[in-house]
Amino acid sequence: MWSTFYIHDDEGRTSGPGGVNPGPAGAPGLVSGAHGGAKRRARTASATASRAGMSESQEGKIKLAFFVAVVGIVLAVLGVGTEFWAELAPSKSFSSNHTCLVAHYGLWKSCVKSLWVADVDPERESCGPADLPGESNCTFFKFFTTGENAVLFQKTTDKRLSTATGLMAIFSLFLMSMGAICITMAISKRVPFFLKPASVCFTLSGILLLLSLIVFHQSVLALLASDHTVPLHHELSWSVSLSACAATLLIIGGILFLLQALPYSPWQKCMSNKDAES
């Protein structure tokens, strides 16, 4: 007679000789336990896969690129919103012996400022610069309301070029906001799907901002060519510099988002091709 013995496993199930459960309900219990564990593992794996839409390193790179884009957005808002795109300055003796006039304007309004001649650099032939202390009189342009041109020192602006510059700047700001919304959703939902539309929005916004600078420069040249009675010294001011820096950062941010949206790393693929050739 074979001696009867039983083995107790870790889960408390009793097994007979050869690891077979002697009880009639042992096999269904094992099957149901195995199926339950498999279902739990499958649910855990699916939940982990859904949460891991992007890795931690990829999320960090996206946040860094978003920081670059945010800096570009801030500079763009400051550049577009300020009225120091161009400065126009006649000679010091244009108005009187004690004061001189200088004008500075942007996309939305112009300001004529009265400066003391004693405050102007003696080596400077024209009045200015516009950041010197003095009385300023600012008026908004009527390009978008009544369609009227503005007159600065007997020179007339070109409303078509000025309107085109303003519209491109506004549309650029709109694309910046759409790109920021896409990146916010990508980071909060951990879904890399929104990286491609964000890349398109930021890149186009930077290109439009650069085009607005070019069109604005053409509008300044058209203003100077409208009348040659009063000779003016003109120069582009710091708002243009801010807008140019903003456009550059936005384009760089768009390229970085596009690189993060690719299914592979271009740098690693290039290095692997070089290793294979060598």
Note the pLDDT tens digit of each residue in 242-271: 999 999 999 999 999 998 887 655 555 555
User: Tokens for 222?
Assistant: 């058209």
pLDDT of residue 248: 96
Q: Is the pLDDT of residue 203 over 90?
A: yes
On whether the CB atoms of residues 220 and 237 are closer than 8 A, the answer is no
Overall average pLDDT of the 144-160 stretch: 89
Q: How far apart are CA 59 and CA 268, in angstroms?
A: 18
pLDDT confidence tier of residue 14, bands split at 50, 70 and 90 = very low
Name the phi and psi angles at 66, rounded to 5.
-65, -35
Q: Is the pLDDT of residue 20 over 50?
A: no
Beta bridge partners of 155: 152
Among residues 30, 153, 17, the alpha carbon closest in space to that of 94 is found at 153
pLDDT of residue 6: 45
User: Tokens for 59?
Assistant: 């999320």
What's the DSSP call for residue 122?
T
Among residues 73, 69, 70, 143, the alpha carbon closest in space to that of 105 is found at 143
Q: How far apart are CA 121 and CA 233, in angstroms?
A: 15
Overall average pLDDT of the 46-71 stretch: 74
pLDDT of residue 12: 47
Mean pLDDT, the chain, whole residue set: 81
Buried b (16+ CB within 10 A) or exposed e, 154-179: ebebbbebbbbbbbbbeebbebbebb
Q: Is the pLDDT of residue 91 over 50?
A: yes
Among residues 150, 175, 201, 200, the alpha carbon closest in space to that of 80 is found at 175
Q: Is the pLDDT of residue 129 over 80?
A: yes
On whether the CB atoms of residues 152 and 111 are closer than 8 A, the answer is no
Q: Where are the domains of the chain?
A: 1-30, 56-263
Q: Is the pLDDT of residue 70 over 90?
A: yes
Structure-derived torsion over alpha carbons of residues 142, 145, 147, 152, reported in degrees to the nearest 10: 0
Overall average pLDDT of the 223-232 stretch: 88
Q: Is the pLDDT of residue 17 over 80?
A: no
pLDDT of residue 146: 86
Buried b (16+ CB within 10 A) or exposed e, 255-268: ebbbebbeeeeeee
Grouping H, G, I as helix, E, B as strand and the rest as coil, residue 277 is helix
Overall average pLDDT of the 108-114 stretch: 93
Grouping H, G, I as helix, E, B as strand and the rest as coil, residue 183 is helix
Is CATH 1.20.140.150 the right assignment for the domain spanning 56-263? Answer: yes
pLDDT confidence tier of residue 30, bands split at 50, 70 and 90 = very low
User: Tokens for 57?
Assistant: 């390193």
Q: How far apart are CA 39 and CA 13, in angstroms?
A: 21
Q: Is the pLDDT of residue 73 over 90?
A: yes
Q: Is the pLDDT of residue 84 over 70?
A: yes
Q: Is the pLDDT of residue 111 over 70?
A: yes
Residue that wins the pLDDT comparison between 48 and 215? 215
Of 8-12, 130-134, 242-246, 272-276, where does mean pLDDT reach its minimum?
Answer: 8-12
